[in-house]
A and B are shown apart, each in its own frame.
Chain A
């Protein structure tokens, strides 16, 4: 079985996000970029499937700017076999990504597609779901546990009330939650070997996709400074403030 994993290049979670002075976007000049942490979990899970003999090949896909090849190289160093890069220097929306992915799924015929449940830059939480809809595959989102048996995958999902376990027929789309696994670090010899693994770079047009931006980014602002708290003297004062100042109860 072949596994396809999504890898998104995002701002490193360790760096402080700055907004451009004209408020048009986040300022990414001179900012450290990294693999989306949920994608790291997806890559880790796919590699584990390969190590367990469940998968025979793991292919990483990234849709994004030229720099995304750095993250694909990281995926290759971690144990992915080859990579496909859908190159686009312009902003791509979730639906664009899902459509490109759907095209690649058609071409590659994977048994599983593992994506992060969301990317930490846009926090959309929809690409996996869209891909499932476009391809007609079943979806197991927010996976915290995953087991493949024969033609079926069992997925434990983290939902509000607790855990939900689903059985899906393969091929299926899985999106990863934080607790699915703990991603490994790349080994030095593997970083060196990753250089020799292939990355197939194609323009979006070559993948038969025209960008169809449905969204326009209007404005980005830094969150308002938090105001200091106040001490209240009594429960009735608290209730009063919640009602009349914060207006969170009525």
Chain B
């Protein structure tokens, strides 16, 4: 069974030495609470909880999956008890509003814990994860009464949440929603329709489930401008606000799926279920979008968590497994063969995992600081700046980290050779679990359109500039530094190219809008690699600085430099291919008629 140790030393490096979290936290309203000692105590306890409680349930959850019996969903054994422990520990409320039973800690801290949860048990982690999404939507858009009723219960974890968007005929294009909401006499609404793929839509972990449902009012305009958001509890609150009468919402079926078997993916039937409008009529999609940033970063973190755990286990295996001699002669002559970590190709795989996971952690923790600032900063200009940068980085976090997350977990299987393909080693589960992260909360294709179309081009490049300016400043600051030249020189070049490519795509798009879609995914991947290069350069700089002081753990910093070099020399060249493909444009994609695709076979 795979093992997992939360990478607490790496968290400390990123927080203290690369991103200056102590200063960041000192500027937040919660400054008194989030002193470094408390932050580290929380991370340590989180690490322990995930290792001792969640990790042992990961394989069994995958094997058992969820069952639907008489309309009730039974989660794999141990999930319910683990959730009770999680609630008892006060974890659901971590970043919740103190006025509604929350602990009021920064969003960023919740994201760090989330990485550990995703590493140890993604399927389990999605139950509290969905509650977080529902809580966010209500926090921003719920009435005071709705917050008092539902937010408190979601924060203390006694009730969980779900997000009901998708329907059989629509996933990406929510304008096609058919679920209807009809006003009833009591001032509420009756919701009727079928939702599919609803994660945590039904289960046995909590007393009640708060569904947030997108539906259309009778007078709704066509398309996305006609969608409203409703809160629909599984059990209607009684006079005391506790779970009372059963509502007309039920789970019709469970999906049988590739991964995250421990998480219930439900068909949800709403048969005139009582619901309450959240926010204004027809503004439901906008309501959903305010929380989308955090939820999407949450999915990026899933990719990150899976890379980390896959890497840790591949590393242990590669040190242990003896196969063949090193090409330059025996490394461990007393053994029948050398450990496979001696072989360059195995090192390539391990370093790919390591560089992407550690680089991804820097990106996520940087985005997490922006998320804190969006919540807490009081000056409008500063908040807007944080919002713009977070808006730019969100699709990168979501799609880039899940794309490379899938690649990295696959390398984890490869390091294990044939054993990686065998279930009991646990490595193939990470691949299956990672696969969904590229799909839900907006597919990679949709994230790429969001990045290039909505964020970058729609703003005439203005959304990108503040970020490329940061990179430019960093490069300038280290211009004459010989030790940093191996990072700063290529980074400065790429940074300039990023701007040029953006301009070039923008020009083409003015002639033909399809050029945006044609370039989008390559543009996103290109942006991801450059963004990670920026963080790896900063890590290298922090490592140089630390090494100058002859630290006890010099080996840690030397490994950082080695990994940074690997990233620059062996992963960053991928930008060349993406740049070429972007420049090639959409002509070859659009030339063929849809009916000409299948001439090789007869239907």
Identify the A interface with B (CB < 8 A).
Answer: 14-15, 29-30, 32, 34, 69-70, 73-74, 77, 185-192, 194-195
For the complex, give the distance between the alpha carbons of A239 and B443 in Å: 68
CB pair A77–B41 under 8 Å, yes or no, is yes
Question: Besides the contacts A30-B556, A188-B93, what 16 more A-B pairs have beta carbons closer than 8 Å?
Answer: A14-B5, A30-B9, A32-B5, A32-B8, A32-B9, A34-B44, A70-B41, A70-B44, A74-B41, A185-B49, A185-B89, A187-B90, A191-B38, A192-B38, A192-B105, A195-B37
For the complex, give the distance between the alpha carbons of A73 and B37 in Å: 9
Question: What's the minimum C-beta distance from A48 to chain B, rounded to whole angstroms?
Answer: 16
Could you say which of B37, B44, B45, B555 contacts A30, with CB atoms under 8 Å apart?
Answer: B555
CB pair A73–B45 under 8 Å, yes or no, is no
Q: List 10 A-B contacts (CB under 8 A).
A: A29-B553, A30-B9, A30-B552, A70-B41, A74-B44, A185-B85, A186-B41, A188-B89, A188-B91, A195-B38
Chain B hits for A74, CB < 8 A = 41, 44-45
> Which single residue of chain A is at the shortest CB-CB distance from B33?
A192
Chain A hits for B9, CB < 8 A = 30, 32
Which residues of chain B (36-57) have a CB below 8 Å from chain A?
Answer: 37-38, 40-42, 44-45, 48-49, 51-53
Q: Encode contact with A along B329-349: 1 for CB under 8 Å, 0 otherwise.
A: 000000000000000000000
Could you say which of B40, B48, B556 contacts A185, with CB atoms under 8 Å apart?
Answer: B48
> Which single residue of chain A is at the shortest CB-CB distance from B3?
A14
CB pair A29–B38 under 8 Å, yes or no, is no
Chain B hits for A69, CB < 8 A = 37
Could you say which of B8, B90, B553, B556 contacts A188, with CB atoms under 8 Å apart?
Answer: B90
For the complex, give the distance between the alpha carbons of A186 and B49 in Å: 9
Question: What's the minimum C-beta distance from A16 to chain B, rounded to whole angstroms?
Answer: 10
Question: What's the minimum C-beta distance from B579 to chain A, rounded to whole angstroms?
Answer: 39
Could you say which of A32, A186, A195 contacts B45, with CB atoms under 8 Å apart?
Answer: A186
Chain A hits for B103, CB < 8 A = 188-189, 192
Question: What's the minimum C-beta distance from A199 to chain B, rounded to whole angstroms?
Answer: 11
B16 at the A/B interface (Cβ < 8 Å)?
Answer: no
Chain A hits for B555, CB < 8 A = 30
Chain B hits for A14, CB < 8 A = 5, 51
Chain B hits for A73, CB < 8 A = 37, 41
Q: Encode contact with A along B84-125: 1 for CB under 8 Å, 0 otherwise.
A: 010011110110000000010100000000000000000000
Chain A hits for B42, CB < 8 A = 188, 191
Take A14-B51, A185-B48, A189-B90 as given contacts and tell me if A30 and B41 are in contact as well, using a CB distance cutoff of 8 Å: no
Chain B hits for A188, CB < 8 A = 42, 45, 89-91, 93-94, 103
B459 at the A/B interface (Cβ < 8 Å)?
Answer: no
Question: What's the minimum C-beta distance from B100 to chain A, rounded to whole angstroms?
Answer: 14
Question: What's the minimum C-beta distance from A196 to chain B, rounded to whole angstroms?
Answer: 10
Chain B hits for A186, CB < 8 A = 41, 45, 89
Question: What's the minimum C-beta distance from B489 to chain A, rounded to whole angstroms?
Answer: 31
For the complex, give the distance between the alpha carbons of A73 and B94 in Å: 19
CB pair B5–A29 under 8 Å, yes or no, is no
B35 at the A/B interface (Cβ < 8 Å)?
Answer: yes
Question: What's the minimum C-beta distance from B296 to chain A, rounded to whole angstroms?
Answer: 25
Question: What's the minimum C-beta distance from A198 to chain B, rounded to whole angstroms?
Answer: 14
Chain B hits for A185, CB < 8 A = 45, 48-49, 52-53, 85, 89
For the complex, give the distance between the alpha carbons of A73 and B41 in Å: 8
> Which single residue of chain A is at the shortest CB-CB distance from B45?
A186
Q: Encode contact with A along B1-30: 1 for CB under 8 Å, 0 otherwise.
A: 000010011000000000000000000000
For the complex, give the distance between the alpha carbons of A186 and B85 in Å: 11
Chain A hits for B33, CB < 8 A = 192, 195
> Which single residue of chain B is at the shortest CB-CB distance from A28?
B552
Which residues of chain B (218-251) have a CB below 8 Å from chain A?
Answer: none
For the complex, give the distance between the alpha carbons of A82 and B42 in Å: 19
Chain A hits for B91, CB < 8 A = 188
For the complex, give the distance between the alpha carbons of A15 and B37 in Å: 22
Question: What's the minimum C-beta distance from A119 to chain B, rounded to whole angstroms?
Answer: 19
Q: Encode contact with A along B126-163: 1 for CB under 8 Å, 0 otherwise.
A: 00000000000000000000000000000000000000
For the complex, give the distance between the alpha carbons of A125 and B48 in Å: 26
Name, among B5, B41, B85, B93, the residue most crowded by chain A CB atoms within 10 Å (CB to CB). Answer: B41
For the complex, give the distance between the alpha carbons of A77 and B90 in Å: 13
Chain A hits for B89, CB < 8 A = 185-188
